Structure 1
Amino acid sequence: MVGVLCEGQTEENMVNDFLAPELVEYGICLVPTVLVTRMPAGGPGGKGGVSKWAKIEKDLRKLLAGTHWAAVTTLLDYYGLPLDSPGMADRPVGSAVDRVTHVERRLADHIGHRRFLPHVVLHETESWVFAAAEQLGDWVDDPSLAQELKRQADRAGGPENVNDGPETAPSKRILKLHPRYVKTQDGPVAVVDLGLPALRAVCPHFDRWITNLLDLVPR
């Protein structure tokens, strides 16, 4: 079993609906755990969105204490990752992949556990939805949405290069084009329809993460 520390409900749904069913065929059982990060007044704790690295680290170390895990990984968005997270303050000048890979190395070094396989999504899981533009357009019955998402992804140089600005991050772009978009439902549905091989083919950083997970399976 592989524990997956997820940023929120969208990421949890991506694991349960998409990644777990795909990877179980390879002998990998993914089990998500969601960060509980907010306590609204008069209500239960909220899920998703974390402002401090200490919260992530606490939950990571708690997961890693479980000896039943073959590995523990993360499904955290690079967009909005706490600025006090290891590697964020000294990110190199270069491509988005260079920067996020640097952060992942620093996370691994900081945690210092042989079973920890950090993964930070470029730039959000909605990047995967950009890859599934056609499937999302079919799901919401809006072919023009699919065309525009494809255009923006192509212009950026691929879905993972759609950037992380407050107004231009993948989720912000999708919501601007389709205000009825429901992150926790519509995105996972589209990505499930796209399928793992197709997503790996257009998202190299995601592909490397999947390769690392598959390497856990004895040959």
Structure 2
Amino acid sequence: MITVGVLCEGQTEETMVREFLGPELEPEGIFLVPTILLTGSTAGGPSGRGGVSKWSKIEKDLRNRLSSTPHWAAVTTLLDYYGLPPDSPGMADRPTGSPRQRVEHVEQRIAERINHPRFVPYLVMHETEAWVFAAAEQLAEWYEDPALGGELQRQADAAGGPELVNNGPDTAPSKRLQRLLPGYNKRLDGPVAVTQLGLPALRAVSPHFDSWICELLAQAEPN
């Protein structure tokens, strides 16, 4: 069993790791430890948690976790590509190409900036809520609304897959879910649906996510 720390953007991502990814990967010999990005603090008060505003805050948190946890096999990230600070490495010189090529360019530049052998960068295309589009049927069952599942699946298919549901301010996965489901609770409903979907099914329709899981699984392989 190896331990991998996961730096999460917020509470939704932490819940996804704790309730979905952790139980799925533990049988593979990987114990995930989710922690939420520290975004700031006030004198005498608790540190701010969640959200991303500046690359410097992400970098500081990553370096602190890597230096303070030498017993962890790796440290990875679970951050949304949508809304990533524009000053993050690779954002200014993203190539013209597919969304996945652009995301992987930024991940590569982040890896070069951190420059640590135990660091495995991962940015979600385009938000964690994209995973919920993969779990359209499961979310529809949770809400007892068959038409909902059909609409989510239609939108995912129109985009070319759940990961390609895009990153516009009105069309990002979270914005679409809010319009379709005004009462949607991202910290409860999303993790429930994705957990019911299961890891193999999510990997099958999310190539970039699948590549990340492959990297994590490689960490547990004997040298």
Report TM bin, short chain. over 0.9
Q: TM-score, normalised by structure 1?
A: 0.96
* Structure 2 partner of 1:139: 142
Counterparts of 1:38 and 1:193 in 2: how far apart (Å)? Answer: 35
**Residues 98-113 of structure 1 correspond to what in structure 2 (within 5 A)?**
98-113=101-116
Q: CA deviation at 1:122?
A: 0.1
| 2:5 matched residue in structure 1 | 3
Aligned to 2:206: 203
Deviations 1:74-108 (A, max 9, x none): 00000000000000010000110000000000000
Q: Is the 8 A contact 2:39 2:51 kept in 1?
A: yes
Match for residue 29 of structure 1? 31
Residues 150-209 of structure 1 show CA distances to partners (whole Å, capped at 9, x for unaligned) of: 000000000000000001000000110001000111000000000000000000000000
Q: Distance in 2 between matches of 1:5 and 1:19?
A: 13
Amino acid paired to 2:140: G
Show the counterpart of 1:55.
57
Equivalent residue number for residue 119 of structure 2: 116
Q: Distance in 2 between matches of 1:146 and 1:39?
A: 41
Q: Give the total of aligned pairs.
A: 217
Per-residue deviation at 1:37?
A: 2.5
Letter in 2 for 1:93: T
Give the TM-score normalised by the residue count of structure 2. Answer: 0.94
Structure 2, unmatched stretches of 5+, are none
Percent of aligned pairs sharing the same letter: 68
RMSD over equivalenced CA pairs, Å:
1.4
Per-residue Cα deviation, 1:36-64 (whole angstroms, up to 9, x for no partner): 33669xx9655321110001001100111
Shift of residue 140, structure 1, vs aligned partner: 1.3
- The secondary structure found in structure 1 opposite 2:154 is helix
Segments of 5+ residues of structure 1 without an aligned counterpart are: none
Change (3 A) 1:29 1:143: same
Give the match for residue 157 of structure 2: 154
1:126 is matched with which residue: 102, 126, 129? 129
In structure 1, what residue type is equivalent to 2:118?
Answer: R
Structure 1 stretch displaced more, 115-124 or 139-148? 139-148
2:195 corresponding residue in structure 1: 192
Task: Look up the SS of the partner of 1:90 in the other structure.
Answer: coil
